[in-house]
Amino acid sequence: MRKQLVLVGGGHAHMMILENISRFIEKGIKVTVIGPSFYHYYSGMGPGMLGGTYTPDDIRFATKDVVQKQGGIFVKDHVNKIDADKCLVYTESGHTFDYDALSFNAGSFVPIKESLKGAGNIYSVKPIERLMEASEKLKDIFVQKKISLSIVGGGPSSAEIAGNVWQLATKIRGHMPDIQIFAGKKFMARFPETVRKRVRSILSKRGITINETGYVKEVTRDTILLETQKAFATDFIFMAQGVKPSRIFEDSWLPVGPDKGLIVNKYLQSIKYPLIFGGGDCIYYKDQPLDKVGVYAVRQNPVLLHNLSAILEGEPLKPFNPGPDYLMIFNLGHGIGVLKKRGLVFDGRIAFIIKNYIDRKFMKKFQVIEKKL
């Protein structure tokens, strides 16, 4: 019987595997990819798409086409449970898949109360498709009237959303919204003051308010309520208060870390179930907890490709090396960025030009696969 490789998600950490599906097929291995969308959107360019710098086509990878053109099977579905003892994957639609090797790149999500899901004026920053919807809606709104727009969250995502909403309103020459970031007690708290000061300065010059008077206690369709009991009326809300790994692992009783991500060892392999691997935001790397940034998913690509092939063929596994300190560049809209690399920090157009070059190069590298097949 043919061995079976199942991939859950087509994100950054699975890109090289998707590129090389034909190699597995040629060895007689059946490859099934299960994902929630026919496309994978690059989150690093999401705020830029919101602001109109990029089109959806610029930032997406045609997962379904790449899989099917190489002889793999693509299933548009959500995985909701794993039976690791029986090597079975269960999906929301009721399908079951068995595997000889399984890899997760299931991403992360922004937790939102059930009562707010589907609300017409509340958008989470993930999945990226929600930013597409928000961009189109805001274009219409900005033409019609002036609104109050709130962003819940104090991290870099909130800064990028604020800057690119401002860009969007500027580009369409509509009514400029009143933009306020609800950042808890300290905006971008985990970053050095040199970074915080530059980001704050850029946003403040555009009239964007950063509220650091207390944490958000409750969000309704038209109100932001702080723990101090002070309430703010609002017309439109972005939820950017941080991401959490997929619930699949906890629901399946797999070993998880403090953030509920799948615990993996130095081989990106489950510490309890050796046939299960993972990368990106959905894992908790046991040896060195990693920030949830795309650079680590990209660095995990060759290791996952090698180790999935090795586990199926009985070959030695290869360890993952997180690598050196990574480059961070925040896109604050209007062609302006803030760059940090070790002790180097600067802002301006050059910072955005560098980010734009790196991001477009990354996308073109994998989008070209679609054209080659």
Radius of gyration of the chain (CA): 21
pLDDT at 56: 93
Tell how far CA 245 is from the center of its chain.
10
CATH 3.50.50.60 domain position(s) in the chain: 4-36+77-109+243-323, 114-241+328-355
What pLDDT, in 10s, does the model give residues 133-152?
A: 999 999 999 999 999 999 99
Provide DSSP, 48-106. Answer: HHHHTSS-GGGGEE-HHHHHHHTT-EEEE--EEEEETTTTEEEETTS-EEE-SEEEE--
Is pLDDT at 178 greater than 70 in this prediction?
Answer: yes
CA atoms within 13 A on the CB side of 130: 19
pLDDT at 327: 93
What pLDDT, in 10s, does the model give residues 322-368?
A: 988 889 999 999 999 999 998 899 999 999 999 999 999 989 888 87
Backbone angles phi, psi at 45, to 5 degrees: -110, 5
What is the CATH number that goes with domain 114-241+328-355?
Answer: 3.50.50.60
Query: How large is the average pLDDT for residues 19-24?
Result: 94
Tell how far CA 133 is from the center of its chain.
16
pLDDT band at 115 (very low <50, low <70, confident <90, very high): low
| CA–CA gap between residue 241 and residue 184 (Å, rounded) | 10
Percent pLDDT > 90 in the chain is: 82
Contacts of 201 by beta carbon, 8 Å cutoff, 6+ apart = none
Burial class of residue 205, CB neighbours in 10 A (0-12, 13-18, 19+) = exposed
4-36+77-109+243-323 fold = FAD/NAD(P)-binding domain (3.50.50)
Contact yes or no for 351/336 (Cβ under 8 A):
yes
| CA–CA gap between residue 174 and residue 140 (Å, rounded) | 9
pLDDT at 369: 75
Using alpha carbons, select from 55, 48, 127, 125 the residue that is nearest to residue 358.
Answer: 48
What pLDDT, in 10s, does the model give residues 246-290?
A: 889 999 999 999 999 999 999 999 999 999 999 998 999 999 989
CA atoms within 13 A on the CB side of 25: 15
